[in-house]
Chains A and B, each alone.
Chain A
Amino acid sequence: MMNRTNLKPQEIKNNLNLLFQSALKSALGSLFSDIEKKIFLRAEHTENPADKLALFNHLEMIKKKNKEFEEFFFKSIMEKPATEPEITWLEATGNRNLALQIEDVITHAKALYGVEHAQFESRINWLCSNFPDHFSKSFFTINFLVLKFLEASKILKNPLKDQVIRSLGNQLLFKLEPLYILMNESLIQFGVIAEIKSTKKTYALSHADLLIKELDKNEQLMSKELDESIIIPTTEIIEFISSCINTKRHVMLKKSNWTATEFVKQFNQHLIQSIRPEHSNRRISNTDLDILESIGSLLSAIINKSTISPVIRNKVIEMQSIFLMTAFSCPSFMNQPDHPARAALITISSIGTNTSTSLSVLNEVANKISFFIDNFSNGSDEDFRTLTNNLNQLEFKTALPKIINTSPAKTRDTKEFTQRYSNFVREIIEKHISGGILSAPAKEFIENTLIDFLTYILTRHGQLSPAWRDANSLISQIVLFEADLTGRSVDSKLHIEPIINLISTLENQNQHWHFAENSYTAAYITYLNKFTFDGIKLNSIQSSLEFNQSIPPPDNSGLSVSPPPNQVLSPVKPEPYAPIKNNTEFDLLSSLDTGLRSPDNKSNRFEKISVPYNHTAVSLFSTKHIFNNEWFKVFIAPDLPLRTLKPSKIDKSLMATVFVNKNGVSTLNLSLDQFFQDIFSHRTYPVFESSSYAHDLNNLIIELKNLGFTL
């Protein structure tokens, strides 16, 4: 077998690693927050002071060590051992009970998504045999993951360590089915299509099943007459479903424990009852059985979701006949994952399982579905699209923020605080200067750069932070230098070097702030440079300043070029930008909550994208300023308050930006188009906004305009 795209193994490995890290980071976040919560509740209800203290210490330890744990874990997964040690779980844990528990959770995980995992294992085996320098036999398999997890857990001390290991199953392993689906898809796209010995679950077949199977095998060999007398024609099945819809008999199976097998059985019974007694020995063909089973599986996956609202579950149950009719009458339903009916089902599932959806919205959704069922005739694609659009409109009303937005006072724009803090900073600076005279470059540097920086530090870190102290020292040094300058007693070592060093320190310690990209800083350093007769080497800042000389001074009105809220960026030329191949940020941003989706599912809930999010400039801006674990004030709708969330990733299948809360739990999806429009129009903005963000955003808008996008 060939690697059809001739991709380098390191690239395959990096791609898998990005998918793996994206999924695992979120899962580890929820694992640690779950443990924190358990410890907190135990501590709260413990009377014994010593136990209470011990539990509080565990809380502190987990907060201190979880980052270290993650770093160790993600570092170790990329290292390929020289030899793969044969290690038992008992050796890995040193605890018989834990070893047994690990065996159990692995078995359970494989029972949940064994097929996907087996396919992945098979592909990794192929990669291992073809690229032994890059891949080990167990790379990213469940066993590999558990082993690395156990190694990382050594960072923690008991009993915390054991508690973390015990949470491995529920909080991590059992959630990884989407990851293995995505990794398989990724490998297939890279051309790694290894032969898989068994991709289907094997069942112990009864004698009757074996007999039916044997009959199926020989089905084609049977005479046409015999065939016609045994098999129920598809047209007859369609007629039966149609009669069910017309008579409003939508439900085949009502049970709460809904299974595909039971559904097919019930359907069969209803169908047989509906036909004449002399034909009661007939049966459904295998092809039609496949369709029935698929619909059964599709519906049972949603109906049996533990998080689905009962209101929506009942509506999905009522839609049995509708989806059966669509599947039998429209051949593309089974072949196209983005078929409008399937997209509608995904939307219903998404709304039904969204825990933040209010009951009133759920009832509205249920009403829309009831209306759709009542008026269902032939099930055109357009009908399903209308349903999806209606439901999406309702969904945007959901997930009302609680913590940040319940209080009217909290809906106020943070700019009010920025202004207040800016005034406070000005007061402090005036105190520093206290009537002294500053040169023009120093004055401009302070007014146009340092005031913004101090305001930013005060808002973000407070007055107790080292950055605040350093920035205040910088102002003192500048004032001291200017005072000495009037007396012409300049000592570059004494006066200039500390200033340069402080600017450098602030630049290095605050990744969100880029002094070197600021022309006022450049002008000030050039000004200082005039006094460095003894050849002080102004550090790297100067070289970077030279590089950035062409950058115009920050324009406070820069955001005015951003589009008005109702305008959309639209390309003048068709497809002017080639997608970025292997753009790591966006590759890892694929959906992990796939549910029923397939890799080709590109349509569905959100409208087609019009913002060029794949363009290099947008991608770079997003990586630097948006998907960097920063908090954002997120605009949702004009009548809803802003929400404070972290943009986590882009779900390419939904063309949506996924937002997470503090625990890393996905809480909101917004269409990419809306999100980028809101970023450009500054309706959505970082909580701790820096001037470099505004500067880069301004540049991005200008660049997009120059490239032909009309704003």
Chain B
Amino acid sequence: MTFLDLKSSTNTSQLLYGSKLDRRYFTRVKLEGVTLIKADSAAQFVINGELSDVSASGLKITLDSQLLVGSEIKVSIFIKEEDLIFLVSGKILWCAASDKNPTKLCYDCGVEILYEGEGSDFHDWRALFIA
């Protein structure tokens, strides 16, 4: 059980898609960017996504496809403004229909970034978004 679970919702209907409660200990920052997500649970293996906000421990992305809650993904994030690319592993904590675009069905997903010693930008991400 992680400390995120301590605050997780017990609402059954929400559990199907995970809870959208803000459980991040770090401050969220709105940031523009694009993402590529490699997930076994998506219709295609690699899908494009749009970055909504970030924190040191996670990020929120908007996708065309629905992702399975609890599944592990690899996500590459390009933050245009800073010309930085990150590659991290993550876990889908929740996935729900987005109200961003009324004309098209898309999904918002909350991703927890997973610790990785090497082969990922975990530490850089953590350091840059810790505040």
Contact = CB atoms under 8 A, between A and B. Distances in A.
B131 A37 contact: no
B77 to A, nearest CB: 9
Determine which residue in A53, A404, A421 has the highest number of CB atoms from chain B within 10 A of its CB, and name it.
A404
B46 A403 contact: no
B79 interface: yes
B131 A63 contact: no
A44 interface: yes
Interface stretch (B12-20, B83-91, B93-101, B103-111): B83-91
A51 to B, nearest CB: 9
Contacts of A663: 83-84
A578 interface: no
Nearest to B57: A462
B128 A662 contact: yes
B29 A644 contact: no
A631 B25 CA distance: 20
Interface in A258-312: none
B115 A404 contact: no
A410 B119 contact: no
Contacts, number: 122
Interface in A52-94: 52-53, 55-56, 59-60, 63-64, 67
Contact of B82 (A49, A67, A403, A461): A403
Contact of A403 (B44, B84, B126): B84
Given A53-B38, A56-B74, A407 B2 contact: no
A170 interface: no
B128 A403 contact: yes
Contacts of A67: 118
Interface in A642-701: 644, 661-663, 687-688
Interface in A173-197: none
Interface stretch (A149-157, A235-243, A390-398, A412-420): A412-420
B119 A661 contact: no
Nearest to B120: A63
Given A37-B83, A44-B48, A53-B45, A409 B29 contact: yes
B2 A464 contact: yes
Given A409-B29, A410-B27, A459-B130, A59 B87 contact: yes
A417 B25 contact: yes
A430 B25 CA distance: 20
Contacts of A64: 118-119
B42 to A, nearest CB: 10
Contacts of A33: 84-85
Given A49-B44, A56-B76, A63-B119, A420 B25 contact: yes
Nearest to A410: B131
Contacts of A460: 123, 126
A661 B131 contact: no
Nearest to A41: B78
Interface in A576-593: none
Contacts of A462: 57, 113-115, 126
B36 A43 contact: yes
Contact of B27 (A402, A412, A421): A412
Contact of B127 (A37, A402, A631): A631
A631 B128 contact: yes
Interface string A339-379: 00000000000000000000000000000000000000000
Given A43-B36, A64-B119, A460-B126, A407 B30 contact: yes
Interface string A596-635: 0000000000000000000000000000000000010100
B25 A421 contact: yes
Contacts of A41: 78
Contacts of B118: 64, 67
A409 B26 CA distance: 10
Nearest to A630: B127
B130 A414 contact: yes
Given A52-B44, A407-B30, A661-B82, 16 more contacts: A37-B85, A52-B45, A56-B45, A56-B76, A59-B36, A59-B76, A59-B87, A60-B119, A63-B119, A64-B118, A409-B131, A410-B27, A410-B29, A461-B115, A463-B2, A633-B131
20 contacts: A40-B76, A44-B78, A49-B44, A52-B46, A53-B46, A56-B36, A56-B76, A59-B87, A402-B81, A404-B128, A404-B129, A411-B131, A417-B25, A462-B113, A462-B114, A462-B126, A662-B86, A662-B121, A662-B128, A663-B83
